[in-house]
Amino acid sequence: MTKQNAIKAPYPPGDFAIWIIIYVELLTFALLFVGYAFSRRADVELFNASQLLLDKTSGCVNTLILITSSYFVVKAVQSIKTITKETLKEANQKASKWLLSAMVLGLAFLVIKILEFSHIFGAGITLSTNTFFMFYLLLTMFHFMHVLLGIIILWNIYQKTKTVGYTSDDHSGIETGASYWHLVDLLWIVLFPLIYIIR
């Protein structure tokens, strides 16, 4: 065990401050997830009937989008971490392409979500329609804000790769942004089956 621990990194990737934020976000969403699950017990029929109004296909497409964009971000980080003096420019360019692809997918997620929201609001549904929709709108809109912030963070990292800003000694920034983006993915991975599928 000691031997195994010796080769393990002492801290998670990126700036440690982002991990404090990640832990707080995990706790906040945990309360909402568990709150939803226990509120459902009070009126299972209402929750099941309301869930039928959601578009499972767009929920699934959005899950695939976030998983894939997270994969692209890992590829960007890998490009930077394997950097050498000779490959500095090439690695930054490669990373910028992965990041751009990840951001495009992030924007696609937002567009699909906006379409879903407009459909829901168009049907006259609001936060006060019933408990299911209160949780649905609260959770998905809160998550939407996180995706938006994640894209802004990725955009800043992208700008730095365009100026060949990352080196083998300085790649903490890209790891910090990537960790936040994976949090957004992790939260949706729990949210999708909970809200859209389980009944």
Partner 1 sequence: MQNNFIKNTLEIVWITLVLLTLFAFLLGYLNYISPLVVSVLLVSTFIKGQLVIDYFMGLKDVKLRYRLIPTVWLLTVISLISVAYYLPA
Q: Which residues bind partner 1 (CB under 8 A)?
A: 5, 7-13, 19, 22-23, 26-27, 30, 33-34, 37-38, 40-41, 56-57, 59-60, 63-64, 67-68, 70-71, 73-75, 77-78, 175, 179, 182-183, 185-186, 189-190, 192-194, 196-199
CB of 140 to partner 1, least distance (A): 16
Centre a 10 Å sphere on the Cβ of residue 171 and count the other Cβ atoms it contains: 22
Burial of residue 72, with CB atoms counted within 10 A of its CB: 0-12 exposed, 13-18 middle, 19 or more buried: buried
* Shortest distance, position 16 Cβ to partner 1, whole Å: 10
Residue 158 or residue 196: which is nearer to partner 1 going by CB?
A: 196
- CA 151 to centroid of chain Cα atoms: 9
Least Å distance, CB 92 to partner 1, is 20
**Those residues with Cβ within 8 angstroms of residue 12's Cβ, 6 or more apart along the chain or in another chain:** 19, 179
Residue 22 vs 100, nearer CB to partner 1: 22
Please answer whether residues 63 and 172 qualify as being in contact, where contact means their C-beta atoms are separated by less than 8 angstroms.
no
Is 1 or 124 the residue whose CB approaches partner 1 more closely?
1
Rounded Cα distance between 165 and 162, Å, is 7
CA angle in degrees (0–180, nearest 5) for 43-47-52: 150
Q: How far is the CB of 133 from partner 1 (least distance, A)?
A: 18
Residue 159 C-beta: closest distance to partner 1, Å: 23
Query: From CA 157, how far away is CA 113, in angstroms rounded?
Result: 24
Nearer to partner 1, 37 or 126 (CB): 37
